[in-house]
Amino acid sequence: MKQYLDLVKHILDHGEHKEDRTGTGTISVFGCQSKYDLREGFPILTTKKVLFDAVVWELLWFLRGSTNIKDDLTQHTPIWNAWAKADGELGPIYGYQWRNWEKFVWDEASKTYRKEHIDQITQALDLIKKNPDSRRIIVSAWNIADIDRMALPPCHAFFQFYVVKGRLDCQLYQRSADVALGVPFNIASYALLMAMIAMECDLTPGVFTHTLGDAHIYLNHLDGVKMQLQRAPQALPRLEISKKKVLEYKFEDIKLVGYNPAAFIKFPIAV
């Protein structure tokens, strides 16, 4: 994961001080890109421990279309607790947009609009299987009409799949990137999603391209990332997943083998 360490070093060397919504303050650059080839191993940080179980639980939660932290699958990942309402609801965040994007259709008989929903994940899977050369294999979480209803607007906003020579690639555009705390999680999450989709579609998971808008390190994360830069990356682990359809995966179908990271570094979350 030298690519990630290069990103951290680039921000430290070239970033500019910028205030932010949380009041914490950041060092920030705008417009970065890193590439991670899944054929070389599963891209998860080894210079600090990343809670892979939490990555899995959150992704499965998104894929179910869930938006409430009291859903029984979220008991292992409290990531969203800080933004949830008292009843656990977060509004139409990632899972809702991925699986239930709202669409209004004119009903000629009643002369009114009726609400329907678009399952973007199913549509993407269908396109990969039936029209793999399509340049429209896209899933968006950035629904401008729903932003005000969301507890937190999507940071990882838009991703696209690319199929070539039996390989599945993916590019994610992330508008806001908390490089110390969030980005390692995002890399692992989208790499896992790629692998699951590739498995269903009989493809080899290839290159994950991570494109960042505002890539920032919070000022209270500086000591931690500097500690990471002093650690040498270790061999990447191997992902083992069952042969199943994407929307049928359960936690026990996904395993990370040979993951031996350096010690965990605790970074405070900026809310």
Please list the active-site residues: 155
* Site of tokens 């061999």: 235
The neighbouring-strand residues paired with 163 are 168
d(CA 247, CA 254): 13
b/e per residue 26-39 (b: at least 16 CB within 10 A): bbbbeebebebebe
Question: Is the CB of residue 67 less than 8 Å from the CB of residue 95?
Answer: yes
* Site of tokens 């590439």: 35
d(CA 98, CA 64): 9
| SS3 label, residue 178 | strand
Residue 191: in which H helix or E strand, if any? Answer: helix 182-200
The neighbouring-strand residues paired with 268 are none
State the virtual CA torsion across 49, 46, 79, 120 in degrees, nearest 10.
-150
d(CA 26, CA 178): 9
